[in-house]
Each structure stands twice: as structure tokens, then as C-alpha cells.
Chains A and B, each alone.
Chain A
Amino acid sequence: MSDANSRITDVVTSNDVVLFMKGTPLFPQCGFSSKAVAILEHCGVGFESVDVLQDMEVRQGIKAYSDWPTIPQLYVKGEFVGGSDIMMEMFEAGELQTMMDEKKVAKA
């Protein structure tokens, strides 16, 4: 397993909710990442974020890890949930909150 892959595995298995994004929650560097942060804040869950712009290996590695071509990417309890469009669809349908409750994710 490559170094980037093991770092990704480590962060998604040791945190309930992980968002791989461009920038940080306070200073998102793209509109999609900004939207993803806003959705998680609305859900009221605590989350770990990884700024892929600070780590080129993770930026490439995360796309292979999930077989998903874009960033942001949301992981809950180690499982890939989707990008910002899927997060928005799930949030609007109430499914994201239900999933967080079912998976017993800690509130922020």
C-alpha cells in the first residue's frame, strides 16, 4: 500500500466524519468544498477535514481510493458517501441527517 493510501485509510478509519476538500472549513478554496462544509455544519456533526491542496499525494490518491474523480469527498465511518452534489441531494431529502443518526455520529 502506498504512503498516501495508508494515510487516507488512517484518517477515514480514525474519525467518524471526514471531508477531503480544497482549503479549510474556514477558508474553502472552491465553491463545491464550501458547499460541503456548509451542509455538514447544518447537520450539526463534528468532522475532520483534509486539505488536499496541502498534499499532492493525497489529492491524487483519494481519487483512486474511492474511484471518484472530484473533490470534495465525504466519508462517514470509513465509508465513501459522495461528493457535494450527492451531499446536497441527501441533505435536502433528510437522508444525510438520518444516516448520521443511524451511524451514531457524534454531534458537534
Chain B
Amino acid sequence: MPMSANEIETMIKAGLPGSEVEMTDLAGDGDHWAAKVVAPQFAGKSRVQQHKMVYESLGGKMGGVLHALQLTTAVPTS
């Protein structure tokens, strides 16, 4: 069963407290998502490290049940 936007967002926010997550349904089928994640924890990390932090918060679902998540990460600008 595909993951809902709400489910994905909740997991990312639990893994990265204080983050902001913006979900977009890319294909309109509830199965192809884009997530924009802005998190203070990303400061000083490389892009690969930032994406890995999001994948970790998704608890191994990325690449499996969640096969299509287009990810953009950023550090909050104050």
C-alpha cells in the first residue's frame, strides 16, 4: 500500500524535530511524492548527508514501499 503524504510528513518530522516538510503529489496518484524538507539539523552537512538523514527518518521505507520520493533539502534561513 502506498504511503500517504501525512504518513511521510509525520515520519520525517519525528526523525528531524523542528523541520518543515512540504509534500507535493507529483503524479496525482498518491504514490509519487516530492518532499521539500527544511531542517536546522542539516546545517554543515553535505547534500548526501542531508538526504541520508531524511531516509533514516523514514525507517528503511525509502527504496522499498516508498519508491518514488523526489527530495529537496535545505537549511532554514533566519
Contacts of B62 in A (CB 8 A): 69-70
Contact indicator B63/A67 (Cβ below 8 Å): no
* Chain B residue at minimum C-beta to C-beta distance from A85: B71
Main secondary structure of the interface of B (DSSP, over half): mixed
Please give the number of chain A residues whose Cβ is less than 8 angstroms from any Cβ of chain B in the complex. Answer: 15
Asked if A63 meets B48 with Cβ closer than 8 Å, knowing A69-B55, A85-B70, A89-B72, the reply is no
Please give the number of chain B residues whose Cβ is less than 8 angstroms from any Cβ of chain A in the complex. Answer: 14
Asked if A90 meets B63 with Cβ closer than 8 Å, knowing A69-B55, A85-B72, the reply is no
Asked if A63 meets B51 with Cβ closer than 8 Å, knowing A85-B70, A85-B71, A85-B72, the reply is no
Contact indicator A82/B63 (Cβ below 8 Å): no
Contact indicator B63/A70 (Cβ below 8 Å): yes
**Partner of A86 from B47, B55, B60, B68 at Cβ < 8 Å:** B47
Cβ of B52 under 8 Å from chain A:
yes
Cβ of A68 under 8 Å from chain B:
yes
Docked complex Cα distance between A32 and B62 (Å):
14
Cβ of A83 under 8 Å from chain B:
yes
Cβ of A80 under 8 Å from chain B:
yes
Interface residues of A (CB under 8 A from B): 31-32, 63, 67-70, 80-83, 85-86, 89-90
Interface residues of B (CB under 8 A from A): 47-48, 51-52, 55, 60, 62-64, 67-68, 70-72
